Structure 1
């Protein structure tokens, strides 16, 4: 059973990424294949991180996906315009939940996902508590 529609958080930056539907994304049923959405969750989260943190931070820290959960609500057709809106939840030690709404060009919710990410030291890949200095970057501006 699908969860209730994800609501944007007013206290978080909502990062928006346009998504492209490529011919190889279309399955035998004529719409975007479910597997593509997992890739989009990762792509959107990575784009947000890369846009907000400099090269030094990205060299020091990395993220490992622990879990993805997706609700498919409306099929996306090959000619659709698509945008993803993402934000992070509250940190829990080394973990953040990242929320993603995938909408069509008319603003209709087509899919939504929650991914659990773990912050790791890029050199050792060992989990690291999310530093308090990182949190303001994800807050609403």
Structure 2
């Protein structure tokens, strides 16, 4: 299973009225790393032929993140079944190694021309191995 990772620093724009990272920002980061992972490994032909539709999303907030915190994001896709994948995202505080957020999302592969669900071909499944 391939793990895609990146680090970010919490900025003032990420904060809510309580000076913690806003929950909407976490959701954006989850979406951003999923997209970045996909765009990093998918070929031009795959990108022109397929896209993803979010079926459902679960996010759990485990601890807070504050201005200046260094965060480590990692994502992986442990399962590919038919037309869907389940993607996990975990966000850790790099200083404390404490889990801040964990997320699971179910994504459906869509044929870009028909806008209909399509079976995940082996070439795509292998991008996540």
Q: The TM-score by the shorter chain falls in which range? A: over 0.9
- Which of 73, 88, 96 is the matching residue for 2:85? 96
The alignment's C-alpha RMSD in Å is 1.2
The structure where strand makes up a greater share of residues is 2
| Alpha-carbon distance in structure 2 between the residues aligned to 1:25 and 1:122 | 33
Length, aligned pairs only: 128
Q: Give the drift of 1:54.
A: 1.7
State the partner residue of 1:68: 57
Q: Which residue of 1 aligns with 2:45?
A: 56
Check whether the contact 2:9–2:68 (CA below 8 A) recurs between aligned residues: no
Q: In 2, Cα distance between the equivalents of 1:65 and 1:20?
A: 26
Q: TM-score, normalised by structure 2?
A: 0.93
After superposition, residues 1-141 of structure 1 pair within 5 angstroms as 12-106=1-95, 107-139=97-129
Specify every segment of 5 or more residues in structure 1 that has no aligned partner in the other structure, as ranges: 1-11
Q: Mark the runs of 5 or more structure 2 residues left unpaired by the alignment.
A: none
